[in-house]
Amino acid sequence: MARTLAEVRRRHDGPELLVDRRTISMAVAAFRKSGAPEGFRGLKYVCHGASGYDQGWCLLSDSLLRQRLKSLVEAEADPRRRMKCFQSLLYSYWAFPFNAATTDAAGREGWSELRTWLKRQRVVLDRTAGRKPEWFAILSRHTNLLESSPCERYGEALLRGDASDLQEAMAGLAIPSGSWVSEEAVFAQMKSAVDRLDEVFKGFLPNLLSIATGKAEVVIQRTLQARCVALLVSRYSKCRDRPENMELREAAISAIGNPWLRRSAWDAVVVDAQGAPDGEAREMINSWLKRQLITDFFELLSADGAGVTRRLDYWLRFEPLIDDMWFALGANARARRTPSFEEFRARAKGRLLALDHTTADNDAFIMRIGEYVAVEFSAMGNAMYIFRWGELPEQLLAKLNSGIARTDVAIKDLKSGNVRHIHRDRAWMTWEQKFDREICPLFGKRPVQPPSGRRQAQRTDHGQTQAQPLTSRNWGAFSASQWQAFVETYRLAVSDRRIAGGALWVITSAALPQEVEAQLRAWGFRHKDLKGWWRD
Q: What is the pLDDT of residue 220?
A: 81
pLDDT of residue 91: 95
CB atoms within 10 A of CB 77: 6
Name the least confident of 26-30, 326-330, 399-403.
399-403
The domain limits of the chain are 2-141, 176-278, 285-442, 443-535
Local structure of residue 513 (DSSP, 8 states): P
Higher pLDDT, 530 or 179: 179
Q: Which pLDDT belongs to residue 229?
A: 96
d(CA 346, CA 293): 10
* pLDDT at residue 60 greater than cutoff 90: yes
- Band of the pLDDT at 321, cuts 50, 70, 90? very high
Q: Give me the pLDDT at residue 261, please.
A: 85
Average pLDDT over residues 154-166: 94
Using only C-alpha atoms, what is the Rg of the chain? 34
Residue 322 · residue 367 · CB < 8 Å: yes
> What's phi and psi for 351, nearest 5 deg?
-130, 30
| 3-class secondary structure, 178 | coil
Give residue 15's pLDDT. Answer: 52
Q: What separation in angstroms does the CA of 268 have from each of 347, 417, 452, 466?
A: 21, 40, 41, 26
Flag the least confident range among 10-14, 61-65, 355-359, 396-400.
Answer: 10-14
Q: Under 8 Å CB-to-CB from 398, ≥6 apart: which residues?
A: none
Mean pLDDT calculated for residue range 21-39: 92
Residue 221: the pLDDT is 83
Lowest-confidence region among 21-35, 409-423, 465-479:
465-479
What integer is the mean pLDDT of 73-96? 94
Residue of 240, 254, 314 lying closest to 289 (CA atoms): 254
Beta bridge partners of 468: 446
pTM: 0.74
Mean pLDDT calculated for residue range 71-85: 94
pLDDT at 258 over 70: yes
